[in-house]
Structure 1
Amino acid sequence: MEKAIVVSSYKNLLEEMDGYDIIYLGDEFCPNFITLDDLLKLKNIRKKKVFLTPMVTDREIQKIISILDFNKKNILFDEITINDIGLLKYIYDNKIDIKINIGRILLLSLSSSITSNYFINMFKKLNISSFEIDSADHLKYINNLKNKISLHTPYRYITMTRFCPSAKNRWIKDCRNRCSKRYMLLQSKLFGNIFINGNAYFYRDEPLLTDTRITRIIESK
């Protein structure tokens, strides 16, 4: 079983990477963590590296495309986790050769349509490494697929917002990633404690899954 850690910046990585086989650098929810500078700093770290990407706008997808172009000649990361259907289609249309993880946000967005003929044919032509989940509920979407599964723990994703509570519900042009290692706590009758990090909402849930396709545990702290 591979053990991975999610970090949003290179600074956080230095504090967290011991004891892990794989580094996920980036963010599933906020495009402000997409930086080539941080990825460049990974070059000499001898661990498997995954570029973690969120849902993106047209402007932000261009930033990711430029990073992918750079990665062709200067291998900074081994895999990319994709949570945006537009980015997935771009990689498919342009036949970019890189290992792809289907992120948990994209998996939930596609839900049952992920096993449609359209996506099955697309996945056959793409280099799909794994599907990422954080709950046994998600297995129903990929039961008919033989790909590997990566499990996010210990926080289960609930939803995300367009605006960032850490930035007082507004966009900040010069975002300094104030939310990088800071959580806010809410109380919910349904979920109990809800943790807010940036623009995403979670609750703590560590599912005991026995699916033999699970080959990687992805931890967030």
Structure 2
Amino acid sequence: MGKKLCLNFCEILENIMSVAPEVETVIQKVLELAGYTECERIYVGSYFCSQYVLNLSHKLIDKVIKEVDNMGIKVTLVLPMFTEKDLLRGKEKIEEFSSYFLKEIDEITVNDYGMLEYIHKKYQRIPINLGRLMFKDYRDPRYDEYYRKSSKPKYFTRLLKQICKQYQVTGLELDITHEQIDISDAPSETKIAIHVPYSYMTVGMVCEFASIPYEITEKFRPNLPCHKECLRNRISYHMLEDRKYLKIGRTVYFDHKVYFDHKDGIVSGSRNYREIFAPIDLEVKA
């Protein structure tokens, strides 16, 4: 079993890029945090928030893409679920990125079936991954008896294989929901990617941070337009002493302490996989 390291800059790209002026320096700092020396690709966009993607700076993306391309690093564009009112703008934003498709951006990760259908039909040649929001196994490390065991994901089914074949899906992105994940039953035709060192615990349509500038009667509405207030605010939950819980935007994450203690034992099975490392700790400190 081998693994390739990738870096997840989704929803934190602006803050990560404030660590240093050059992308290469930023990546080196992140690699030091992750304990690795090489990076195969980076992920940009968002798994959970359409407002973040709609407000993503083309100038920043262009800078990052060009600099990582010079380093021989590929880019995965990650797309969230767009609500009906934002769908047209979402498609326009995707088209804005399309000049990079099959060059610097060589694959797209989608997080809902509607976007899977759209990308498959509109951009037929670009490889597609199913993102972490497509897989919803129970996850809550506060239930110690449930968490502290090895898990074989329930979604490796015949239906999943049919979907992968129908839409020519090339990769699956998974979160670790237990102390260890067994990927031996994953479809053999697809690449597997594992998110570390944080898993998403829950996500919703209401963003507390987006509500900050609104009048009290307008706060806490689903999918509020925003100015990426999430980049300037974080919520930390103190529930268990041995674990971090963070809220970034709409999403609550928990960390895997075991990842840093037993990095090579968190995934079992004979499959090779990508490790998608989110440098949230570096971003929070910055």
| 1:151–1:214 contact (8 Å) kept in structure 2 | no
Question: Do residues 143 (structure 1) and 185 (structure 2) align?
Answer: yes
Q: Which has the higher strand share?
A: 1
| 2:48–2:80 contact (8 Å) kept in structure 1 | yes
Selected match of 1:185 from 224, 236, 260 = 236
Question: Do residues 208 (structure 1) and 266 (structure 2) align?
Answer: yes
Selected match of 1:101 from 112, 115, 129 = 129
The 5 A counterparts of 1:1-150 are 1-7=3-9, 8-9=12-13, 12-13=16-17, 14=23, 16-18=26-28, 19=31, 20-34=39-53, 35=56, 37=58, 38-41=60-63, 42-46=65-69, 47-58=73-84, 59-60=86-87, 61-67=90-96, 69-72=98-101, 75-94=103-122, 96-108=124-136, 115-117=157-159, 119-135=160-176, 143-146=185-188, 147-150=190-193
Please give the per-residue CA displacement for 1:49-99, whole angstroms capped at 9, x wherever unaligned: 111221222324423542464344x83411111112110011234462112
How many Å apart are 1:133 and its aligned residue? 1.1
| 2:116–2:167 contact (8 Å) kept in structure 1 | no
* Alignment: residue pair count: 217
Unpaired runs of 5+ residues, structure 2, are: 18-22, 32-38, 138-152, 212-219, 260-264, 281-286
TM-score w.r.t. structure 2 length?
0.64
Amino acid across the alignment from 1:208: I
1:197/1:132 CA distance change after superposition, 3 Å: same
TM-score w.r.t. structure 1 length?
0.80
Equivalent position of 2:200 in the other structure: 157
Cα distance between partner residues in 2 of 1:68 and 1:122? 25
1:36/1:195 CA distance change after superposition, 3 Å: closer
| 2:171–2:193 contact (8 Å) kept in structure 1 | yes
Q: Larger relative CO (CA 8 A, sep 6+): 1 or 2?
A: 2
1:210/1:116 CA distance change after superposition, 3 Å: closer
Amino acid across the alignment from 1:161: G
Unpaired runs of 5+ residues, structure 1, are: none
